[in-house]
Amino acid sequence: DTGVSQNPRHKITKRGQNVTFRCDPISEHNRLYWYRQTLGQGPEFLTYFQNEAQLEKSRLLSDRFSAERPKGSFSTLEIQRTEQGDSAMYLCASRQGNTEAFFGQGTRLTVV
Amino acid sequence: AQSVTQPDIHITVSEGASLELRCNYSYGATPYLFWYVQSPGQGLQLLLKYFSGDTLVQGIKGFEAEFKRSQSSFNLRKPSVHWSDAAEYFCAVGVVMEYGNKLVFGAGTILRVKS
């Protein structure tokens, strides 16, 4: 197992388009997190899954954002009608129980 | 509300010199504290963590951090910096939510190492 994998690594999209990112966690990890990191800031929590259940969502997560983890394995984060303010690095992390969280390399989104 | 403050946006040290990165947190309960490092284009790597017990914790790559409850601080130290330590460092506090927990990060400190 090579760790948490995120695809794509980079995405450039035009304002108003929809984008979807994928996260493949470490295989035995039941907890999965999405964070967003903008330039000059630390990561900010977006949402959390335990197995397939989305248990927590940040107020930062507007109605244009949706996340799924259909079989408790990989997860997708979709942004509809992208805005320039959505430009950021989107990080995924996974953990098993209360052990250390491992982060992926992130997907950098640029909205033009 | 819970928060983490890293007062220094940038720090420059000479290779071989000692390093201290500052972190202050605000959290009502007993904190779980973390330091992560992020190299350009990379994800976050955990350097060390404090849950309880000994207030001086050792981490990877020769880093250590000291938890001081009275000062609400968790400063990161390294006695001798190597050029490969140049990166961005994030302090974080673990926060309990209704159905799980999350990390609240500081804004980060960029470390530059000069030869």
Nearest-angstrom CA–CA distance, A90 and A38:
9
**A42/B45 CB distance under 8 A:** no
Provide, as residue numbers in chain B, all residues whose Cβ is less than 8 Å from the Cβ of A42.
4, 90, 92, 105-108
**pLDDT tens-digit profile of A43-71?**
999 999 999 999 999 988 899 999 999 98
Alpha carbon distance, N-terminus to C-terminus of chain B: 41
Hey, which residues 1-30 in chain A have their CB within 8 Å of chain B? 4
**B100/A31 CB distance under 8 A:** yes
Residue A1 confidence (pLDDT) above 70: no
Higher-pLDDT residue of A98 and B18 is B18
Poorest-confidence range of A7-16, A90-99, B17-26, B68-77? A90-99
- pLDDT for the residue numbered B43: 86
Pairing of strands A107-111, A10-13: parallel
**A44/B103 CB distance under 8 A:** no
Closest to A48 (Cα-Cα) out of A80, A77, A79: A77
* Contacts of A57 by beta carbon, 8 Å cutoff, 6+ apart: A46, A47, A48
Question: In terms of CA atoms, which chain A residue is nearest residue B49?
Answer: A100
Q: How confident is the prediction for chain B on average, in pLDDT? A: 95
- pLDDT for the residue numbered B95: 92
How large is the average pLDDT for residues A72-81? 96
Residue B107 confidence (pLDDT) above 70: yes
DSSP state of B31: P
